[in-house]
Amino acid sequence: MTRTTHARSSDRLAPFALLLMAILWGSTFFVLHDMLERIDAADLLGVRFTIAAVVFAALMHRKLIINRTTLRQGAILGLIFGSAQLLQTYGLAHTSASISGFLTGIYVVLTPILEALLFKARVRRRVWVAVGLAVVGLAALTIVPGAGTVEFGIGELLTIASALVYAVHIIYTGHVATAEKAVTLATLQTAGVAVLCMLGAIPGGIHLPQRVDDWLALGYLALVCGAFTAWLQTWAQSKIDATPAAVIMSTEPIWAATFAILVGQELFSMRTLIGGTAMVVAMILASLPDRVDGRASALETDTTLRRSTDECRAHQSVESSSEQRCVCRSAPDPAH
């Protein structure tokens, strides 16, 4: 097998790697939901991210770039991501795994809106449609038909707050991360989350799991759903465009609900189906790039290109006796 053929084969595997990552991420919700009945969220996250940080440092220590800048950026990333993790996990203790998965996923919708507010950027119409769908999904998941009640409590509130903090994390990561610093920042962020969660656990005392199956679950969360998925994401996103990657990763809440139903934690209902579908469609819409927004933009670009070409041809026919060269200015490529 030639190097080119091997590269093409690995490129074809990239979408499946991201799908596996989304499935593993989705599985964390029902695992955490079960463990939270016995272990406090701060204790659970502290131990989980300490294990992950140690593994990261052991495997990647030769690639780490440690200086003031990376230490500061890694600490900030750890503080933001750790806060989101604590909010999400405490919220999960007071709501179902499927609702937690769907509500956490709205960070995909919140990110472009928050970025627009912070940097005065324009919010595309497609994003507002995604916001509307997210609201419909939230209503379907929390309003009980015929009962006149809304199942929106502290768990749902904390989960939505975590989604907002995740959006902040994505924006800050986009401003500080580079390919050279990716491994370093990921390692420092993981260590920062571990420190933050351990500090949060100190007031009540740090309690370690007492059961073998809880330690096995922690190992699964830290190594498989932590270190392994981080490697999967890094490898796969180096071989696939951001748009299909974001769409594939948007399926995470579907897997969260699927696992919760399969293990018997929850029952399948039309509310889950309708609300979950609306949420996932909203995430996909929000993750699509601007060039998919409308064919009008591409058509306008094509028209401009044709007009420029026609003008050049006309100019060349008039000036054919001279040695002047017509220079065409093409419109920007819509793919960029």
For residue 150, give the H/E element and its range: strand 149-150
Residue 306 has a pLDDT of 45
Contact yes or no for 52/223 (Cβ under 8 A): yes
283-305 pLDDT, tens digit each: 788 777 765 444 444 444 444 43
Looking at the fold, whether 248 and 336 belong to one and the same domain comes out as no
3-class DSSP assignment, residue 149: strand
Specify whether 166 is located in the same domain as 225: yes
Q: Are residues 99 and 221 in the same domain?
A: yes
pLDDT band at 270 (very low <50, low <70, confident <90, very high): confident
For residues 47 and 209, give the distance between their C-alpha atoms in angstroms, rounded to a whole number. 9
For residue 4, being part of any structural domain is answered with no
Q: Number of H helices and number of E strands within the chain? A: 14, 2
Residue 161 and residue 281 in one domain: yes
Instruction: Report d(CA 109, CA 281) in Å as an integer.
Output: 10
- Give percent above pLDDT 70 in the chain: 78
**Is the four-CA dihedral 40, 46, 52, 58 of positive or negative sign?**
negative
- Percent of the chain clearing pLDDT 90 (strictly above): 19
Tokens (6 digits) for 252: 């995470």
| Same domain, yes or no: 281 and 308 | no
Residue 18 β-bridge partners: none
Q: Is position 320 within any domain?
A: yes
Q: Are residues 260 and 154 in the same domain?
A: yes
Is residue 284 situated within a structural domain?
A: yes
15 with 53, same domain?
A: yes
Strands 143-144 and 149-150: antiparallel
Q: What is the pLDDT of residues 10-63, one digit of tens each?
A: 677 888 888 898 899 889 988 998 898 888 999 999 999 999 999 888 888 888
Domain contains 5: no
Residue 93 has pLDDT above 80, yes or no: yes
Q: 191 and 316 share a domain?
A: no
**In degrees rounded to 5, what are phi and psi of residue 217?**
-65, -40
Domain assignment present for 1: no
Same domain, 243 and 317: no
- CA 227, 229, 234: angle at the middle one, nearest 5? 100
Residues 118, 38: Cα–Cα separation, whole Å = 40
- Measured CA angle at 58 (ends 195, 54), to 5 deg: 25
- Give a yes or no: residue 2 inside a domain: no
Distance CA 207, CA 212 (A): 14
Same domain, 238 and 327: no
- Give CA angle at 18 (131, 191), nearest 5°: 85
Examine the domain organization and report whether 126 and 204 are in the same domain.
Answer: yes
Domains in the chain, number: 2
Q: Are the C-beta atoms of 312 and 326 separated by less than 8 Å?
A: yes
The reply to whether 3 falls in a domain is: no
Q: Quick check: is 141 in a domain?
A: yes
Question: Which structural domain range is residue 88 located in?
Answer: 10-293
- Count of alpha carbons within 13 Å of 130, Cβ hemisphere only? 25
